Copies of this chain bind each other. A is one copy, B any other.
Amino acid sequence: MASKWRVRAPVFAALGDETRLSLVAKLCGGRPHSISQLAEGSKLTRQAITKHLRVLESVGIVHSVRAGRESRFEFDPEPMEGIKEYLDFVSEKWDQALSRLVSFVEI
């Protein structure tokens, strides 16, 4: 059970960056975006954005589809559903701890 969500760490790590959070926020709208499009508003270089996209891709949050001379990135929901499992596990365990505390005080 411990090793179950140990594998989630890289997904959390992939989301542990402002730039990547905003990339995901853009891509989860459903419309695929090319690298240049995604780099457009940013202060960072296109290459920097590319690297961030590869990080997201390496944990499955995103995948790329080559279309002509541009490669379009699309969102993939599964990994983020995965880390919700961890968060729910923690919340549930915490809630149980709280209710144990309450019933102890009430006795």
CB nearest to A95 among chain B residues: B77
Residues on B with beta carbons closer than 8 Å to the beta carbon of A48: none
Copies in the complex: 2
Residues on B with beta carbons closer than 8 Å to the beta carbon of A65: none
B94 near A30 with CB under 8 A, answer: yes
B86 near A84 with CB under 8 A, answer: no
Select one of B11, B81, B84, B89 contacting A25, CB under 8 A.
B89
A6 near B22 with CB under 8 A, answer: yes
A residues touching B (Cβ–Cβ < 8 Å)?
2, 5-6, 8-18, 21-22, 24-25, 28-31, 75, 77, 80-81, 83-84, 86-87, 89-91, 93-94, 96-98, 100-101
